[in-house]
Structure formats: structure tokens, C-alpha cells
Structure 1
């Protein structure tokens, strides 16, 4: 797992789901995420077409179109990784999963390849990562940044 200047060994860390710009979930235009009704987390405006698991755990469910992945992490987090689209991403197709339901996965393992045109300045997809039981953790802190490596720590908790 990548470290940054905010690294503290007393925390556990969630890594980035993809490369791009990490933003607080509260800044998304979609109120289902921004209001926190589903839980706390982060989003990434993608700069590639690959999505990776931000935690180690078990794949509980994959949507039919490959756009959402429910993961139960090794430490009990209920994580939703959702491949969404920005209003400019007009050619969204089903994503291609690289894992199956009930599979044990490692943090940083590829979940899918996004089914849309190659992302560029005019065609961005957004990946939302939401922890539905984030209130079960004493500390849940986002580390917003530009992610160049999916091993980068983007959220810390205990």
C-alpha cells in the first residue's frame, strides 16, 4: 500500500479504486451519494478504464451490468464500488468484471474494466466508493489528492 506524508501506522487505510482525482463523496452532484444516505466515502474522476478493489475481502454481489460491486472487507466494512458516469460520459456500456461473486480478493486487485470510451477531458467516468457502515468506525478520514497509483492511501480509519 502506498504511503503519503499523512501516514500513521495506528490507522488502517483504504486505497484508491482507480487513478484520477479523489474528491469527498459530499461534493458529487448525485444526492443519493452526496447526502450520505448510503454512507460515507469518496469518489474518483477516472483517468483510466480500470477499477481496483480499495480493500481486501469477499465480493458479496456484482450488478448485472458490472457497474457495482459490494465487498465485505476483512475488517467488516461494507463497501460499495460503483462505476458511474459524469454527464459528459455519454457512451456508458456494461463494464467487464474480472472477478466473480463470493471470490476472496486482495486490496488493489482489478475489479473491472469500465465500459465507456477511453476517458479523456471530455469523457470522464466517476467511481464512487461508499462504506455503508462507516458510522461503526471511530475515525473515518478522507485524504483528497490526485492519484497516480492505485496503491495510494486515500482514506484512513480506525
Structure 2
């Protein structure tokens, strides 16, 4: 799995960000007493999800790639785009960008990691059909443009153009409720994610 991500992405916005769970902060009581630290109760957070493109929404199970359809990377949804403008499905910070410009990672304020992957096997196109509209470390709102893709060039190369959105830190996701099916517009609501 680590190799998959290493091949996808070439830079992180912050070198101190790690993909492991070892970075969790652990606090201890201020004194040496045996008192147990108080656990802060975290309320569920609802994150509205937007379509990453104009087109037709579908479930991950319908995507013609086992890595996505079997949810190896996490749960989410997909859109078969009708034009090449790709927008952010969530608000957050751009944390990763693929060398081939076909995938962008966004981390929300609550720590949810969204991967926007454009096309199937499009890493093989080495960035040719893609024009990035964002850079690492940039704050972005849901519905703002992140990438432009020449769909005709992707089709000419024999690749599918599905825009796939997966939430890769599944342990932080309580539920995903995708309510949109069929025709959607870029930036329009498609459902919600609940995190803790």
C-alpha cells in the first residue's frame, strides 16, 4: 500500500506530515499523581460532499478498477465526467499531488483525507492531459477548481475518465451517505460524511 502512494504522489505540503498513525499526540497529567487524564468527548462532525465534476454519479462498486471498487483505499463515490473541469469535493488543504497530475489529496479541517483520482490507469499518461490548478499547502473550498483534464486525450489513449473520490483514513470515518445518483453538476451536493 505504501508503494502505491509513493508512486502516486511526489510532494507533501508539510514534510512533518506522516502517513502513519504514530504521530498521534499523547498527553499526560501535568503532575506525577496517578489521576487518569480526562478524555475530551468529541462530537460527530458532518462534512458535506460535492460532486467533483459535471456528469453522472455512481458508486465505487461500479468503477472498473479493483483497487477502487473493492474499497482497498477507502470508501467514497465516483462521477463519469461530461467535461474536463475537476473541482474539490470537500474544503481543506491540498496535501498531496501526483507526479502525473492525475490525483490530488485534500485534508479537511477535521483530518479527513480525500483522494481525488482522475481516470483509470491515467498515471501512465505521465501528466499529458492534465493541467493542475492548485499547489501543495493551498487552502481550498468545496467546489473550487483543482484540475483540468483533456477528456478526449484520455479517451484516445484508451483510458476511462471516471473521477473517483475516496476517503483514505477509514478509521476516522463513521459513515458515508451518498444521496446523488445519475446526473450531477460540479460542486453540487452529493451526500455527506460523518466523522468523529
Q: Which has the larger radius of gyration?
A: 2
Partner SS, residue 138 of structure 1: strand
Is 2:156 aligned against 1:126? no
Question: When the two structures are superposed, what TM-score results if normalisation uses the length of structure 1?
Answer: 0.80
Matches within 5 A, 1:129-144: 129-144=165-180
Partner of 2:111: 76
Which deviations, in whole Å up to 9, do the C-alpha atoms of 1:104-128 show, x marking residues without a partner? 11111100111332789x9861101
1:3 corresponds in structure 2 to none
Aligned counterpart in structure 2 of residue 109 of structure 1, from 118, 132, 144: 144
2:60 corresponds to 1:25? yes
Looking at secondary structure, tell me which structure has more strand per residue.
1
Q: Is the 8 A contact 1:25 1:42 kept in 2?
A: yes
Query: Shift of the alpha carbon at 1:139?
Result: 2.3
TM-score (norm 2): 0.65
- Cα deviation, 1:117-151, whole Å, max 9, x if unaligned, reads 2789x986110100012442332111232344223
Distance 1:145 1:44 in 2: 9
Instruction: Give the deviation of 1:73 after TM superposition.
Output: 1.1
Please list, as runs of the form range in 1=range in 2, the aligned pairs for 1:1-158 lying within 5 A after superposition.
11-85=46-120, 93-117=128-152, 125-158=161-194
How large is the Cα RMSD of the aligned pairs? 2.7
Maintained 8 Å contact 2:54/2:81: yes
Unaligned runs of 5+ in 2: 1-44
- Aligned residue number for residue 7 of structure 1: none
More helix by share: 2
State the number of aligned residues: 145
